[in-house]
Amino acid sequence: MEVFKESYSLITRFLAKSLDYISDDEVSRFLELISRTYRENKKVLVIGAGRSGLVGRAFAMRLMHMGFRVYVLGETIVPALNNGDVVIAISGSGRTKLVVTAAEVAKSIGASVISLTSYPDSPLGKVSDLVIQIPGRTKISVEDDYNIRQLIGMYEPLAPLGTLFEITALVFLDSVVSELMKILGKTEDDLKRMHANIEI
């Protein structure tokens, strides 16, 4: 039970501190881009592998509840992307090969690429029109996240692999949802009306 509680506590403290490390400027550019996508009725495609992909799906559901035309790479219904459509790519390391490849293809088609990653200088960061840097350890490197380590102290195995990145990305995106609801004038009842009623 002790490890359980220490881990829970570490994660919540990490989360609380992380907000200071997320750039206001990046957030406001994200909000602007994503709300323009909505107003212009363009498509959003979410891409990500593993648990980062699951975080992307959780965000995609909320976008759908707000009325976005949103899709997830790898699922059955994925339409063609066109100029003006937006890809949201999530990868802690920014090096996940299948995600980088998909982002590159999206870019070549004329879509804008927004990425969430801990490494703005990664291959994914470099192909992106907008990078939102999310604190977190990554799966491939521990040397260069000295600041995060200082922030929280030793974590392993209290939050193995990409855990901190993934949870922070989820909470970040859920907070973005609330701001988007205000910007787009959506109430919780609006979201409820769009929620899959066959799954309730």
Q: Which residues are catalytic?
A: 166
* Contacts to its own copies from residues 15-44, by CB under 8 A: 15-16, 19, 24, 27-28, 31
Q: What is the number of residues in the chain? A: 200
Between CA 158 and CA 160 the distance in angstroms is: 6
Residue 1 within binding range of its own copies, rule CB under 8 A: yes
Of 31 and 151, which CB lies nearer to its own copies in the complex structure?
31
For the beta sheet containing 112-117, the strands, ordered from the edge strand earlier in sequence to the opposite edge, are: 69-72, 43-48, 86-90, 112-117, 130-133
| Nearest-approach distance from CB 17 to its own copies, in angstroms | 9
Give every CB contact of residue 105 below 8 A, 6+ residues apart in sequence: none
Between CA 28 and CA 127 the distance in angstroms is: 20
Tokens of 173: 């995106």
Q: Which helix (H) or strand (E) holds 82?
A: none
Contact window for its own copies (CB under 8 A) among 32-40, 113-121, 123-131, 191-199? 191-199
Question: Binders of its own copies: how many residues, by CB under 8 A?
Answer: 86
| Nearest-approach distance from CB 168 to its own copies, in angstroms | 10
**Torsion sign over Cα 105, 109, 113, 119:** positive
* Contacts to its own copies from residues 104-123, by CB under 8 A: 105-106, 109
* Contacts to its own copies from residues 61-80, by CB under 8 A: 61-62, 64-65, 70-80
* Contacts to its own copies from residues 122-181, by CB under 8 A: 139-140, 156-161, 163, 166-167, 170-172, 174-179, 181
Residue 83 within binding range of its own copies, rule CB under 8 A: no
